[in-house]
Amino acid sequence: MTTRPKIIAINGSIREGNTTAVLRHAAELARRRGTDLETVDLRSLRITATGACGDCNARCTPCTQEDDVPAVVRRMAEADGVILAAPVQGYAVSALMQTFIERAGACHMRFDRPLAGKVGGAIVVARRYSAVEGWAHLTTHLLLNRLVVVGSGFPATVYGLHPGEALRDAEGMTNVERMLHGMIDMIELLDRDRRRTGAEPLAFGEANEREGLRFVAVR
């Protein structure tokens, strides 16, 4: 690796609150590990809802709706690792994060899985309920896109209501730190193998898992 490792964190919160604070803490920890962690705040971007065309499962080309999602996908594809971070709202991850997942996944990344072989992690901030369910949802999205998710013990779920409270959740913040250390360790391990062999450590035989299968758009 000729440059510092880079992790892109996608912040799905609609405000500058606990999710932002946790990611700032993670960025400082990454800096001490010699890694750049850059945050993309979805709330500052134009993220349109998935359209009603019904062609997502039939098309062979990315969606033509114009918004900021393609640029975010490119930034993730250029990074070594990706973190999806969101608060719980209405017993699920924020609507903003869900909209991004739908647009980025079904409309852009499903054709060639540009994040395949990168290292992924999920962080969920909650007042009390549905943190693990939200974490599982984000982690499943990472696995679908063929990222490497490193086991780090308990999920990176952090609890707090008012801004700043999440940072006082000692166990939750420890889980975030363990996850981040595991991600950086794996990024470095994959890079060492890449330099040693001259090949990508994880190679997939097809561009996406739909090759050879017949999908019909649901109307």
Q: What is the CATH number of the domain that holds 98?
A: 3.40.50.360
Please count the structural domains in the chain: 1
Q: What is the mean pLDDT of residues 50-67?
A: 75
Helices 95-104 and 131-144: angle between axes, nearest 10 degrees:
10
Q: Domain for residue 99, yes or no?
A: yes
162 in a structural domain: yes
Domain membership of residue 203 (yes or no) is no
Residue 57 lies in a domain: yes
Residue type, 145: N
Is 21 domain-assigned? yes
> pLDDT class for 65, splitting at 50, 70, 90?
confident
Those residues with Cβ within 8 angstroms of residue 70's Cβ, 6 or more apart along the chain or in another chain: 62, 108
SS3 state at 78: helix
55 in a domain, yes or no? yes
User: 120 lies in which domain range?
Assistant: 6-197
**What confidence tens digit (pLDDT) does each residue in 176-206 have?**
999 999 999 999 999 999 999 998 888 777 7
Inside any domain, residue 215: no
Q: At 11, which helix (H) or strand (E)?
A: strand 6-11
Query: Is residue 45 within 8 Å of 73, Cβ to Cβ?
Result: no
Tell me what pLDDT residue 184 has. Answer: 98
Query: Is 204 a member of any domain?
Result: no
The pTM for the full model equals 0.92
